[in-house]
Amino acid sequence: MKAIGDPIDRVDGRRKVTGQARYTTDHTAPNCAHAVLLTSTIARGRVAWIDTSAAQAIPGVLVVLTHANAPRLSPPAANESASPASRVLTLLQDDRVHYANQPIAVVVADTLEAAHHAVSLVKVRYAPEPHDVRMEPGLDQSYVPAHAGRPDQDSTATRGDTAGAIAAAPARIERVYTTPFETHVAMEPHATLAAWDDGDHLTLYDATQGIHPDRKRVAQLLGLPAENVRVISEFLGGGFGSKGPTWSHVVLTAMAARVARRPVKLALTRPQMFGMVGWRSRTRQTLTIGAQQDGALSALRHDTVAQTSTFDEFMEAAGMPSRMLYAVPSVTTSHRLVRTDIGTPSYTRAPGWAPGTFALECAMDEMAYAIEMDPLAFRLRNYAAVDPENGHAWSLKALRECYRVGADRFGWARRPLSPRALRDGHALVGWGMATSVYPAHRSPASALARLLPDGTVLVEAGTQDLGTGTYTIMTQVAADVLGLAPSRVTFRLGDTRLPETPVSGGSQTAASVGCAVHAAATALRERLSRLGITDWRLPAGQVIEARGEASPSDEEKQYGTYAFGAQFAEVRVDAALGTARVTRLVGVFDGGRILNAKTARNNLAGGMVWGVGMALYEQTIFDERLGRVVNNNFAEYHVPVNADIPTVEIAFVEQVDPHVNPIGVKGLGELGITGAAAAVANAVFHATGKRVRDLPITVERLL
C-alpha cells in the first residue's frame, strides 16, 4: 500500500494536544534541583568583584558557581571549537565579559523560586571597557573570514571579468541593502536537564536540533569519552537553527549538576535568548548589476559585510544565491566580517540564503524597472539552464513551471508595470514576486528497522523532530517500503543510543534520515523475503531486524542539487498612514518528492510567514550606549501573528528527481523563507513607488 505523499495527520499529534508529549522541561529526575543563570549587564570588560554570600544564605540554595569557583575545564578549553558548526562558549573559566547577557554565574537550589530569588541577591561590580555593537565604525577594519558559512564555500568567488562587463553594460544599477539582527524566539526556550551517574556518565535532556553533535561537543568540553554522554530530545518546540549548536548553558548545567551532586534542570528566560544562543547577523549587501537593453544580464557583483563577535567567527553567507541563481557570464561575490561586542551570531532559518535572496531579488526587481521590463519576464530571460557555478546539469529543476503556475494562480498577467497604478479606497495596492532557492543538502545517517512478534514494525534513528513532522514522514517512508499501513509502523527518535544521524539543520533531515530509514526498511523486507516470511507473523519473543546506512553518492556531486520556488505577494499600504499589510501570498515550489502533503505545506507556509516577519516586523534593537538589547521580549520583538497573515496559497510542482538522492526528496524547511521578504518588499515598491532597501519596512521608512 502507498503511504508516501498522503496528507496523513501527525502521528504524534494526539500526544501533543493531550499533553503527553514531553519536551525538555517536562522531564524530571529523582531529587532534581533547579538552576538559574545570572548574565552580564555590560557589553565588554571584566567582573571585578562578585559577592554571592547573600544568595548562598537563602534556604535551599545548593551551589553558586562563578568564575572564581567553577570547575576548570581541561583542553580543549571553551575557546576552542570542535568543528566549524561549533560555537565558542563562555563557561566561567575567567572574569572576561565579551557581550551583554553573557553568563557570569549559575545558582542551583531545591526550587526554581529559591534559585530566582538567590540570583537577584548576587552583587556584581564590573570593570567596564569601551564597547561598540555597531557595524558602521568597523567597516574599514572588516576582514575576509575563513569561509562563507561552510568550509567548502570560499569567501570570495569570481567568474568572468565582472568589472569590465559592468562598465560596458548599457544599463547599470548599484544598490545597498541592509538587514537587521533577527532573533529566533522559538516558542520553547532553550533548556537542559543534566544528571550524572557513576561519576563520569552523563545524561542530558536537551532542547537540541542535534543530539549526536551535542553529545560530542559536551564530551569534548568536559573531557569525557563520547560514549559516556547520553542526550535525549524527544520533542522540540521550535529551533530554527538556534538549537543546532551546543551553547554555554548546556555545559554549565552539566557542570552545576556535577558540583551539586544532584540532577539539575535549567531553562533560559525569554530575555536570555537574545545574544547568548545566537541570532541572524546584521548584513550590509552591495549589489551591482549590468544588463543589456534586451534584458540579458552582463554581470553581477554581490558584496556582503556581516557582524560577528570579538571571540568567535560566524559568517552570514548572503552572496551564495548570486553565484548560481541566474545565467550571468560574469559574477563576483565577496564576504567580510566586522568584529563587535555582541554574542556570536549563528544559524537562522536559511542562513545566508534568506538575507541574500532579499537583496538579490530586490536588485533584480530594480534592474527590471531600470530597463522597463516585467520582473517575471526579466527572470525568465536570465533563466539558468545549467548550474552557472560549475556548468553541471541540474539534478532536476522545475522553476520555469513554478513561475508559470504561480503567475497563473496570482493573476500576474493583470499587473500594471507602473507603481501606484492600483488603488482600493485609501489603500495603495502592490504586487511583487521573487524567486526561492535553497540547496538540497544530505549527510550520512543510519537507521534500524525491527519486525516485532505482533506483526508491527519499530523503526529507530537518533534524529530530532523540530515540530516539522519527522515522526510522521519517517513512519510513512518505512510503511511505504514495507507495504504496511502507517498505523502498523512506529518511529522512535531523540536518543543518542539510537543509530547516528546528523543535526536537523540545512533542510537535510528528510533526505538524510529518510534515505537511511528507506535503506533499513528495504533491508528488513529483503531479509523477510529470504526467510520466506510473508504474513508478518513471528514466534513469540522473536524479533527480526535490519540496519540501513545512507550517505551522499559521487553521482549526486555531479549535479546541481537545489530546491526552487516562485513567490507572489500582494500588499496594501495606507496612503495616509504608511502602514503596510500583506493581503495575499502565493508560493509554488519544486521540492522534489513530497513525503506528506500536509506537513510539507505547513513547513513552507511557516517559512513564508517568517518572510513576512523579516520584511515588515522583525528587528533586534540595541541600546548602543549600553550594548544591550532593549526589545528582548514578545511584547516588543514583533513577529507576525494570525491577524497579520492572509490565507497562504501553496502549490507543488512535483516531479521525480532521479539524481538528488535515493528517495528523491529535497528539504523544505528553509526554502519557504527565501525570496519571501523580497516578494513583499517588491510589492511595497509597486504599491507606493518608494523603494525601501533597509529591513524591516516600517511606517517611518515609508512616510
> Among candidates 462, 555, 464, which has minimal Cα distance to 516?
462
Last residue of a domain, one of 273, 292, 323: 273
Q: Are 467 and 580 contained in the same domain?
A: no
Residue 428 lies inside a defined structural domain of this protein: yes
Q: Are 289 and 380 contained in the same domain?
A: yes
Residue 6 lies inside a defined structural domain of this protein: no
DSSP 107-134: EEESSHHHHHHHHHH-EEEEEE------
Task: For residue 611, give every residue at least 6 positions away whose Cβ sits within 8 Å of its Cβ, in sequence order, or none.
Answer: 354, 567, 672, 673, 674, 675, 676, 677, 679, 680
Last residue of a domain, one of 223, 251, 273: 273
Looking only at the bridges linking them, the beta strands covering 330-340 and 96-97 are unpaired
The whole-model pTM stands at: 0.97
CA 67 from centroid of its chain's CA atoms: 32
Residue ranges of the chain whose pLDDT lies below 50: 78-79
pLDDT at residue 76, rounded to an integer: 54
Q: What are the backbone angles phi and psi of residue 138, rounded to the nearest 5°?
A: -100, 5
Strand extents, DSSP E, 461-513: 489-492
- Looking at the DSSP assignment, which residues form a beta bridge with residue 391? none
Q: Are 85 and 207 contained in the same domain?
A: yes
Residue found by looking up cell 533548556 in the block: 191
Residue 304 lies inside a defined structural domain of this protein: yes
Q: Are 221 and 123 contained in the same domain?
A: yes
Q: Domain range holding 450?
A: 443-551
pLDDT at residue 78, rounded to an integer: 47
Tell me which residues are annotated as active site.
670
pLDDT at residue 548, rounded to an integer: 98
Q: Are 152 and 222 contained in the same domain?
A: no
Last residue of a domain, one of 221, 252, 273: 273
Residue 12 lies inside a defined structural domain of this protein: no
Q: Are 664 and 683 contained in the same domain?
A: yes
The alpha carbon torsion through 181, 246, 210, 560 (nearest 10 deg) reads 50
pLDDT at residue 625, rounded to an integer: 97
Residue 9 lies inside a defined structural domain of this protein: no
The alpha carbon torsion through 457, 462, 467, 472 (nearest 10 deg) reads -20
pLDDT at residue 439, rounded to an integer: 97
Q: Are 373 and 499 contained in the same domain?
A: no
Q: Are 30 and 71 contained in the same domain?
A: yes
Q: How many domains does the chain have?
A: 3
Q: Are 38 and 172 contained in the same domain?
A: no
Cis peptide before 696 (omega within 30 of 0): yes
Q: How far apart are CA 509 and CA 495, in angstroms?
A: 16
- Looking at the DSSP assignment, which residues form a beta bridge with residue 643? none
Residue 135 lies inside a defined structural domain of this protein: no
Q: Are 252 and 316 contained in the same domain?
A: no
Task: For residue 595, give every residue at least 6 positions away whose Cβ sits within 8 Å of its Cβ, in sequence order, or none.
Answer: 4, 5, 473, 476, 477, 510, 514, 665
Give me the CATH number covering residue 670. Answer: 3.30.365.10
Instruction: Judge contact between 520 and 546, C-beta under 8 A.
Output: yes
> Among candidates 134, 260, 119, 258, which has minimal Cα distance to 196?
258
Q: Are 159 and 41 contained in the same domain?
A: no
| Cβ atoms within 10 Å of 120's Cβ, excluding its own | 12
DSSP 358-417: HHHHHHHHHHHHHTT--HHHHHHHTB-SS-TTT-PPBS---HHHHHHHHHHHHTGGG--S
Residue type at 23?
A: Y
Residue 14 lies inside a defined structural domain of this protein: no
Instruction: Judge contact between 146 and 312, C-beta under 8 A.
Output: no
Q: Are 540 and 609 contained in the same domain?
A: no
Residue 680 lies inside a defined structural domain of this protein: yes
